[in-house]
Structure 1
Amino acid sequence: MTTDWHGTTIVAVRRGGRVCVAGDGQVTQGQATVMKGNARKVRRLSPGGHEVVAGFAGSTADAFTLLEKLEAKLDAAPGQLARACVALAKDWRTDKMLRNLEAMLIVTDGTDLFVVTGNGDVLEPQHDVTAIGSGGNYALAAARGLMDGDGDAEHVARRAMEIAAEICVYTNGNLTVETIGG
């Protein structure tokens, strides 16, 4: 039996030398049941003393496995986030066990910002904003619009998440926010 789980919105905004990653806390089963409202989908990692912030969408267990693998890649290439993300994406796409993991990651060290997928993608956003998850498109559109105004990275990320939560039934306003850089 397959369970249809939804309920993650993660947005990342790079502005003024800082990157803010914000994620909601909702986990929804099917189309009508909120299973949890305070999940923590944005985490701060410190492999080898180098701080990284990661947000994830998809299966929690799969995301935790990927975060562990990312930490190992960062330990092998300290301070080289792009290299570690490419190595993770390569393993994720080619390894027999990892290939079946269902999650997406947003990863930043405060300078670089990437979306990493199981298709082997390591994408750097064109407009200093990216988002993933069920409400990702809503948060992305809101954040892109807010980039024309005032406010730092955290302000834009929080407001974009508020807007996404007003539109997307799979997104709530219970946020975890981590800012890095600067």
Structure 2
Amino acid sequence: MTTIVSVRRNGQVVIGGDGQATLGNTVMKGNVKKVRRLYNDKVIAGFAGGTADAFTLFELFERKLEMHQGHLVKAAVELAKDWRTDRMLRKLEALLAVADETASLIITGNGDVVQPENDLIAIGSGGPYAQAAARAMLENTEL
């Protein structure tokens, strides 16, 4: 069960996630790095889905960030366009959660780039649980 969650509060953003790689119900590896810093540490990104697919997408997304001088939204839209239209990329199965100092986005293989409500992102099979917990924390605490 992958869980990636991102919250933004008081001008700061964080992305965190679990570290398990599973095959069915079996944990194959317990320390996968599912959250990465990209583009000179100005962008943070996490993934849910196939590990090899996500690493490929991270590389492509970092190239898009470099092409667009770190502009997160432009890079995300360009990656989503390529992901949707390229026959090889369409086979990649992953979701990306990305954020910088100004925006938080979910990028999907369907070509969607979504800026979620309240800058709260939760993806992966554990996403709904993480989203509910994070929303409760944001609404009821100062954490």
**TM-score relative to the length of structure 1:** 0.75
Give me the whole-angstrom Cα distance separating, in 1, the residues matched to 2:32 and 2:119: 26
Total equivalences in the alignment: 143
Q: 1:17 aligns with which of 11, 15, 18?
A: 11
Give me the whole-angstrom Cα distance separating, in 1, the residues matched to 2:70 and 2:29: 35
What is residue 64 of structure 2 aligned with on the other side? 73
Bigger RCO of structures 1 and 2 (CA < 8 A, at least 6 apart): 1
1:148 is the counterpart of 2:139: yes
Moved over 4 A (4+): none
Structure 1: 5+ residue stretches without partners: 1-6, 153-182
CA deviation vs aligned residue, 1:62-92 (integer Å, no higher than 9, x gap)? 1011111111111110131100000000000
1:28 is the counterpart of 2:22: yes
* Letter aligned with residue 3 of structure 2: T
Structure whose alpha-carbon radius of gyration is higher:
1
**TM-score relative to the length of structure 2:** 0.95
Give me the whole-angstrom Cα distance separating, in 1, the residues matched to 2:142 and 2:47: 25
What is residue 112 of structure 2 aligned with on the other side? 121
Q: 1:87 aligns with which of 50, 54, 78?
A: 78
* Letter aligned with residue 37 of structure 2: R
CA apart distance, 1:150: 2.8
Give me the whole-angstrom Cα distance separating, in 1, the residues matched to 2:51 and 2:124: 12
CA apart distance, 1:110: 2.3
